[in-house]
């Protein structure tokens, strides 16, 4: 696959439907990190997260016959909302498999975007089986939240935009969960950066990607006890090899480090970001020597948080 | 005074030292309010609030002799920080009279900007007397947080920028405390708007400005029991007549209405704003009939909140 071409085509394809998100800077955060940071604010993206990019890119490439039968995914997080809203914008039906015990606020968000919720048990297997059922019954097309190639390419357009704005960026860092954002970011970094390197931040408490890079095979999370709820998922068959090839290092951070980074972003940039977004900045603060005196792009993944349940 | 000229001169004067703050929009907040809202984000201003504009405009107009002797103000809020940072940027000494019992976080902020704190008792009279002392002892120039004319003009440059960006705005609304922001906003609205009208939001719990407009004389706050801590102050001899002449109406809102508006801004715009900023938006939601189907500029005054003590 010609990733360079695909990234450019994806960007052109989704541009009428997304926000070109702003890039913020902060003198104080530069001082603290001893680097020059460019925060790509996907918390300002439609529906509040970068996932909108991948969802749109996947649905926009379906045939008319496929579009008529709808799409299905399993997610209780931002991808559920991204598929629901993208489908709505494009006049396509969306079936979202969600665990019975998913928070009401997440279900309401999907419903508000016109998605149809299909309940399942909460294990990964149960969710996948339920999604398979919907594929068979409705003829809907399954779109994986992170391991789908058009989704990966779509997520990469955030870094692509950032590099077009700031071509002299020397490193880009993104958080890693299922790896859709990270693999897309790494592809954009490799094909559009000027000797630019890709890094990732990952919670200690869900460090499957870190261990996968060490062992050379996809490792399973042994805990997912992290506040960064968007990063509890696992690498997949498509995201892992891209990350292996194009990511320089995955930096793991503790829950305290995530909270400190999140608070600094809220206080200094005056923006609302979710804990997952703070993981990349936490990694910069933890391993300053890597980023010192460099121009660093930081992908802030999203801003969907429950304000009545903040960790501060 | 030729306010139109003064506003333009002030803007040119302070431009090298301020951020030209972004204007945000939200489809959902438009739907809720039934208006088209343009949020002028002074929470992204240097030091986190619009007060930077007035402080800079005041200090920049001092003579060299005055600058050498420094400036003094009394404030425990954003104006304290604004004077401290402006003075630092311009190489001027800043003396900030603060109540002994002011929160440590506020004192630390002033100190971090290089300001000298002079402690006083917490009554308004005690603070004024202490400021007078500093004027006499140090020869420093006193700058009032809201009633100083260069401060008023400086604060008006936020609305001036907004109107230059969006000349078709039909109404502008700002919160009112001491009235510096509101009177400056009203002047900019009158002299640079295209038949544009100025409104204000004020907490029920500190409604001196609302009552002053009714009675035709400066009224005193009987309570200041509002979460909007920036709006507990009183109108002054300069702000009141400008507000009387150029403001169409002051809309009072309850504490619950302020909280609801603040939460909507955080959730939907994904930005951190202080309760005082939410008062203007709360007023729009309360009196929809005034703003319905109109293009409305909303001045979001600042984003300095204590994240460990949020009202959600």
At A105, the pLDDT band (50, 70, 90 cuts) reads confident
Measured between beta carbons, which residues in chain A are less than 8 angstroms from residue B270? 43-44, 48, 271-273, 303
Domain hosting A246: range is 3-49+148-300
Q: What is the pLDDT of residue A122?
A: 85
CATH number at residue A87: 3.40.50.1100
Tell me, yes or no, whether A286 lies in a domain: yes
Lookup result for tokens 């007397």: B129
Which is nearest to A188 in space by CA: A165, A164, A149, A156? A156
Q: Which residues have CB under 8 Å from B101's CB, separation 6+?
A: B122
What pLDDT, in 10s, does the model give residues A178-201?
999 999 999 999 999 999 999 999
What ipTM is given for this predicted complex? 0.93
Q: What is the pLDDT of residue A76?
A: 85
Do both A135 and A210 map to the same domain? no
Rounded to whole angstroms, how far apart are CA atoms A183 and A152?
A: 6
Walk across the sheet containing B141-142 and list its strands: B116-120, B94-99, B71-74, B141-142
* Record: contact B270-A270, CB cut-off 8 A: no
Do both A138 and A20 map to the same domain? no
Nearest CB to B22; choose among A22, A48, A267: A22
Final residue belonging to a domain, choices A92, A107, A142? A142
Do both A119 and A257 map to the same domain? no
10-residue stretch averages of pLDDT, chain B, 312 residues long: 97 97 95 98 97 98 98 94 98 96 89 96 92 97 98 98 97 98 98 98 98 97 93 96 98 98 97 97 98 98 93 88
* Record: contact A44-B270, CB cut-off 8 A: yes
Tell me, yes or no, whether A306 lies in a domain: no
Lookup result for tokens 């120039």: B141
List active site positions of B: 51, 76
Rounded to whole angstroms, how far apart are CA atoms A294 and A113?
A: 41
Rounded to whole angstroms, how far apart are CA atoms B306 and B283?
A: 24
Do both B290 and B162 map to the same domain? yes
Please count the structural domains in chain A: 2
Do both B156 and B275 map to the same domain? yes
Distance from CA of A43 to the nearest CA of B (A): 7
A-side interface with B, Cβ within 8 Å? Answer: 22, 43-44, 48, 263, 266-267, 270-273, 303, 307-308, 310, 312
Q: What is the pLDDT of residue B106?
A: 87
Best mutation target among A270, A275, A300 (most B Cβ atoms within 10 Å) is A270
* Record: contact B270-A312, CB cut-off 8 A: no
What pLDDT, in 10s, does the model give residues A120-153?
998 889 999 999 999 999 999 999 999 999 999 9
Do both B165 and B293 map to the same domain? yes
Tell me, yes or no, whether B33 lies in a domain: yes
Do both B167 and B220 map to the same domain? yes
* Record: contact B270-A22, CB cut-off 8 A: no
Distance from CA of A140 to the nearest CA of B (A): 29
Phi, psi angle pair for A218, to nearest 5°: -70, 115
Strand partners, B264: none
């Amino acid at each position: 696959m010609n990733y360079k071409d695909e990234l450019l085509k994806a960007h052109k394809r989704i541009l009428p439907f997304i926000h070109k998100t702003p890039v913020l800077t902060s003198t104080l955060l530069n001082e603290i990190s001893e680097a020059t940071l460019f925060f790509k604010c996907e918390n300002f993206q439609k529906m509040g997260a970068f996932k909108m990019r991948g969802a749109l890119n996947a649905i926009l490439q379906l045939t008319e016959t496929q579009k008529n039968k709808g799409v299905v995914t399993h997610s209780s997080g931002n991808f559920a909302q991204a598929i629901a809203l993208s489908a709505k914008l494009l006049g396509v039906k969306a079936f979202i498999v969600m665990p019975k015990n998913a928070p009401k606020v997440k279900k309401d968000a999907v419903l508000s975007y016109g998605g149809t919720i299909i309940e399942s048990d909460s294990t990964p297997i149960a969710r996948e089986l339920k999604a398979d059922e919907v594929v068979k019954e409705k003829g809907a097309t399954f779109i994986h939240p992170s391991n789908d190639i058009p989704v990966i390419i779509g997520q990469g357009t955030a870094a692509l935009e950032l590099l077009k704005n700031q071509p002299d960026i020397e490193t880009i860092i993104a958080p890693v969960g299922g790896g859709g954002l990270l693999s897309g970011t790494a592809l954009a970094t490799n094909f559009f950066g000027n000797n630019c390197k890709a890094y990732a931040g990952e919670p200690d408490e869900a460090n499957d990607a870190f261990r996968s890079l060490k062992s050379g095979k996809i490792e399973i999370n042994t805990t997912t006890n992290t506040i960064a709820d968007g990063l509890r998922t696992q690498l997949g068959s498509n995201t892992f090899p891209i990350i292996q090839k194009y990511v320089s290092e995955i930096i793991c951070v503790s829950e305290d480090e995530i909270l400190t980074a999140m608070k600094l972003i809220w206080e200094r940039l005056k923006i609302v970001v979710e804990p997952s977004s703070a993981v990349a900045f936490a990694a910069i603060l933890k391993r300053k020597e890597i980023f010192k005196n460099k121009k660093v792009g930081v992908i802030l993944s999203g801003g969907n948080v429950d304000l009545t349940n903040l960790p501060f």
